[in-house]
Structure 1
Amino acid sequence: MRKQFAKTLLETGADERVAVLLGDLGHFLLRDFEARYPSRFFNMGIAEQSMMSMAAGLALGGFFPVVHSITPFITERCFEQIKDDLCYQNTGVNIVSVGSAFDYAALGCTHHSYDDIGILRTLPRMQIVYPAAPHEFDILFKEAYANGAPTYFRLPEHIHSLSTHPKFGEVEQMREGNVVTVIAAGPQLQNAWEAAEEAARAGVLCDLWYVTTIKPLSAASEKAIAASVAKTGKVVTVEEHSVIGGIGDLIALICGGERFTHVRLGVNDKFLECYGTYEEHCKANGLTKENILKAIHDSAGRNR
């Protein structure tokens, strides 16, 4: 994903309004951008809050800044600057993170961020984009980087291998069914797809939806999700994020008038205090094909 980030950024750098600000990482990754556009490349060091405010100033001066650092350092640490300098001022700053959720698995709480979407969703004017394949980032960044609104791009280290056709502000239907609605975001699309495929062999047909834009969603997308939930009455949401504030909450908000059962798979209301690999964290938090399949079958057997 970061290689695609560098490639996409180099291409969009032809737009003289694009400027890059780094939080003391990514120098080698973005060396081609720096060599080609040195006057629009800034390494701000470990000063993320100042970096965010400087980006806002550049945006007010007509630039479309791209700010890049590790997820918790440019979301949690910079929340006040994002609120006051980006969202309140409505400045077109693009925040591109690295290390979503528990990608930096072994580095512990300081480098984990499974609440970033929930935090930033609360801010008016903030756009949130969550691509999980290189082509998705390329398409969505080019669609959104110059639209003048503050935009957060959550880049995961792990990706899915499915064919998708993302469009900013829209959800994508991956499978059609009438028994259980499954809604996935990020790399967990892979596990959700495989679980839905296995469920289909047992006669449980899932309506599988993929969310790459968390905010804003178009009225048509919200209507499509609501129609699916009304049809099945059973929802399973899957995400590498806290079950508080993520897509599970988003779906509950969209479908608040419907009566349905809802299984939320993600990080429960806790800190991940054990160290291990990304895969081990997924398993510990129920983010596996097997657990998604179990949630589908359990949901299929329930009444609304």
Structure 2
Amino acid sequence: MRTAFSNALVEAATQDERVVLLTGDHGYALFDEFRKRCPGQYINAGIAEQNMVGVAAGLAKAGLRPIVYGLSAFIPVRVLEQIKIDVCYEKLPVVFTGDGAGLVYSTLGTSHQSFEDIACLRSVPHIEIMSPCDAHELTACMRMALRAEGPVYLRMGKADVGQVHASLPDLRRGQLVRVREGHHPVALIATGSMVKAACALGDELAASVWSAPWIKPLDTRQVAELAAGASAFVTFEEHSAAGGLGGAVLEALSETRPLPMLRVGIGERFSQTCGSYAHAMREHGLDLASVRERVLPFAARWKAS
């Protein structure tokens, strides 16, 4: 996925000289090709993320298209006030990219793990939130983000969990993308790295699986249409179960057609042990075996009813 991100940056900058990349002293190898092809469109702002957002806001007001890159623990969490006041208040077209979202930086502990970033931004006006599940979705999301008239946050997990789509999907603003068709009455909706787990369970259950590359806005009409043909929903995210995709779907359902729903995400806790990414996913109950233990009984109950 990070290779696709690098390629998308180079594509955007070579096609539009207004595109400027700002990084907080991160991603040197990631940006080697960008710096080689577009040296005048690259700014290393150093470990000064709050200032970097202010610089990006000024560049946007001058007519440029800034892309701000950092780890998601810092972009957007450390700079939330600057995103709110400097960028969102004036609806400036700045793309924020948060890399290593979720539990990927497992060995670095809570300071570098990020499972509250979506929740922090969902209540900030005027910013859109994207969460691609693979390289194809990321490429499509980047192209749409750079066409947006206002601010966008693009969330990336650093772990490569494999491709979901065979080619670039036809993304439409706010809409879910069906990645598996099934006939089970429980529909599975996932975002980011958890789409692969949802697909595996969709195969077991013969259930439909939907990817959510957009968290905000979320097409509430589409969610209502899905609810009309389902008995229950399960949402999956490598993010807090509060305030993320599950929360967005629940809010949409509450205003249209309330349904029973299981939210698979990170609970009210921080990581307590240190280990690999797979270890962190097990600790928080997001590995496939743990998720299966929760989802299969829930799905069986609603199929029986």
TM-score exceeds 0.5: yes
Kept after mapping to 2: 8 A contact 1:118/1:245? yes
| Residue identity opposite 1:192 in structure 2 | A
Q: Mind listing any 5+ residue stretches in structure 1 that lack a counterpart?
A: 201-205
Write out per-residue CA displacement over residues 204-254 of structure 1, whole angstroms, 9 at most, x where no aligned residue.
Answer: xx2321101111234xxx223222223322121111000111111011011
Give 2:38's aligned residue: 37
Secondary structure of residue in 2 paired with 1:232: coil
| Residue identity opposite 1:241 in structure 2 | H
Give 1:177's aligned residue: 183
Give 2:87's aligned residue: 86
Give 2:9's aligned residue: 9
Between the aligned partners of 1:290 and 1:24, the Cα distance in structure 2 is 37
Deviation at residue 68 of structure 1 after TM alignment: 0.7
| Residue identity opposite 1:85 in structure 2 | D
Deviation at residue 39 of structure 1 after TM alignment: 2.2
Kept after mapping to 2: 8 A contact 1:100/1:157? yes
| Residue identity opposite 1:171 in structure 2 | L
Between the aligned partners of 2:178 and 2:114, the Cα distance in structure 1 is 27
Give 1:251's aligned residue: 249
Give 2:23's aligned residue: 22
Secondary structure of residue in 2 paired with 1:270: coil
Deviation at residue 89 of structure 1 after TM alignment: 1.0
Kept after mapping to 1: 8 A contact 2:218/2:248? no
Give 2:291's aligned residue: 292
Alignment of 1:161 with 2:163, yes or no, is yes
Deviation at residue 299 of structure 1 after TM alignment: 2.1
Between the aligned partners of 1:236 and 1:66, the Cα distance in structure 2 is 33
Q: Identity, % of aligned pairs?
A: 32
Write out per-residue CA displacement over residues 243-267 of structure 1, whole angstroms, 9 at most, x where no aligned residue.
Answer: 1111110110110042422111110
Between the aligned partners of 1:40 and 1:49, the Cα distance in structure 2 is 20
Distance 1:72 1:166, change over 3 A: farther
Deviation at residue 123 of structure 1 after TM alignment: 0.7
Kept after mapping to 1: 8 A contact 2:266/2:284? yes
Give 2:199's aligned residue: 193
Moved more, 153-162 or 118-127: 153-162
Deviation at residue 166 of structure 1 after TM alignment: 4.7
Q: Mind listing any 5+ residue stretches in structure 2 that lack a counterpart?
A: none
Kept after mapping to 1: 8 A contact 2:186/2:232? yes
Deviation at residue 94 of structure 1 after TM alignment: 0.6
Between the aligned partners of 1:166 and 1:134, the Cα distance in structure 2 is 14
Give 1:65's aligned residue: 66
Between the aligned partners of 2:234 and 2:214, the Cα distance in structure 1 is 18
Deviation at residue 73 of structure 1 after TM alignment: 1.1
Give 2:143's aligned residue: 142
Give 1:203's aligned residue: none
The two structures have a TM-score, normalised by structure 1, of: 0.92
Give 1:77's aligned residue: 78
Kept after mapping to 2: 8 A contact 1:233/1:259? no
Secondary structure of residue in 2 paired with 1:266: strand
Secondary structure of residue in 1 paired with 2:208: strand
How many residues align? The count is 296
Between the aligned partners of 1:283 and 1:243, the Cα distance in structure 2 is 16
